């Protein structure tokens, strides 16, 4: 049987007298033959996430290659439109029923927020310490992960939380920097 929930539903309908045993077996066979495989969903998710990471890296490399020739206002506009484009694509793919692609694009939007934080810090010469940038990114990641109910964001939040705690840098100057 394709799905345990479907089998239970067919049994429940049969007990309620809505369908007979023959019809339940016919429906089960039809679903086994025509329903999409659950295994393909995992591969689509893996490829979508991998694609989102590659697109994010491509965006960062594109911006980095033209960064020196841009004015600060053009840099901010480029970052904003990149983020808006990714969010727009995530919303559009979600509305069209491509849930896995939409979730991957939302993850790409979270990666874009991280790039945005550090690049804005560079534009305006903020010296973000090893914990401040990841902490701000962690807040955005947790908010987006909570809003979307997405475990992928939780996996990104773990290393960001470790960086924000300063475990990799010894925890010097916590909350005492004048850069906040």
Statement to judge: residues 117 and 68 lie in one domain: yes
Statement to judge: residues 26 and 72 lie in one domain: no
Statement to judge: residues 96 and 143 lie in one domain: yes
Q: Which residue has the tokens 């962690």?
A: 138
Per-residue pLDDT tens over the stretch 113-139: 988 888 888 888 777 666 788 888 899
Statement to judge: residues 58 and 144 lie in one domain: yes
pLDDT of residue 178: 47
Q: Is residue 47 part of a domain?
A: yes
Domain count within the chain:
2
Statement to judge: residues 10 and 83 lie in one domain: no
Cβ contacts of residue 92 below 8 Å, gap of 6+?
none
Q: Which two tokens stand for residue 24?
A: 């339940």
Residues in the chain: 180
Other beta carbons within 10 Å of 26: 12
Q: Is residue 174 part of a domain?
A: no
Other beta carbons within 10 Å of 88: 13
Statement to judge: residues 126 and 145 lie in one domain: yes
Ranges of the chain whose pLDDT falls below 70 = 1-3, 35-41, 128-130, 166-180
Statement to judge: residues 146 and 58 lie in one domain: yes
Q: Is residue 87 part of a domain?
A: yes
Statement to judge: residues 13 and 92 lie in one domain: no
Q: Is residue 99 part of a domain?
A: yes
Statement to judge: residues 19 and 70 lie in one domain: no
Q: Is residue 64 part of a domain?
A: yes
d(CA 136, CA 134): 6
Statement to judge: residues 11 and 50 lie in one domain: no
Statement to judge: residues 72 and 160 lie in one domain: yes
This prediction's pTM: 0.64
d(CA 13, CA 5): 12
Domain that holds residue 12: 4-34
Statement to judge: residues 15 and 58 lie in one domain: no
Q: Is residue 61 part of a domain?
A: yes
């Amino acid at each position: 049987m394709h799905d345990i929930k479907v089998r239970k539903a067919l049994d429940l309908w049969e007990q309620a007298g809505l369908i007979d045993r023959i019809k339940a077996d016919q429906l089960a066979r039809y679903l086994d033959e025509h329903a999409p495989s659950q295994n393909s969903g995992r591969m689509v998710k893996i490829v979508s996430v991998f694609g989102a990471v590659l697109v994010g890296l491509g965006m960062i490399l594109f911006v980095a290659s033209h960064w020196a020739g841009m004015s600060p206002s053009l840099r901010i506009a480029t970052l904003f439109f990149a983020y808006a484009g990714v969010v727009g694509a995530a919303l559009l793919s979600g509305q069209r029923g491509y849930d896995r692609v939409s979730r991957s694009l939302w993850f790409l939007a979270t990666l874009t927020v991280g790039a945005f934080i550090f690049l804005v810090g560079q534009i305006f010469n903020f010296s973000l310490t090893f914990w401040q940038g990841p902490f701000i990114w962690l807040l955005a990641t947790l908010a987006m992960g909570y809003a979307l109910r997405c475990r992928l964001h939780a996996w990104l939040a773990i290393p960001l939380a470790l960086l924000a705690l300063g475990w990799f840098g010894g925890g010097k100057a916590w909350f005492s920097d004048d850069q906040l």
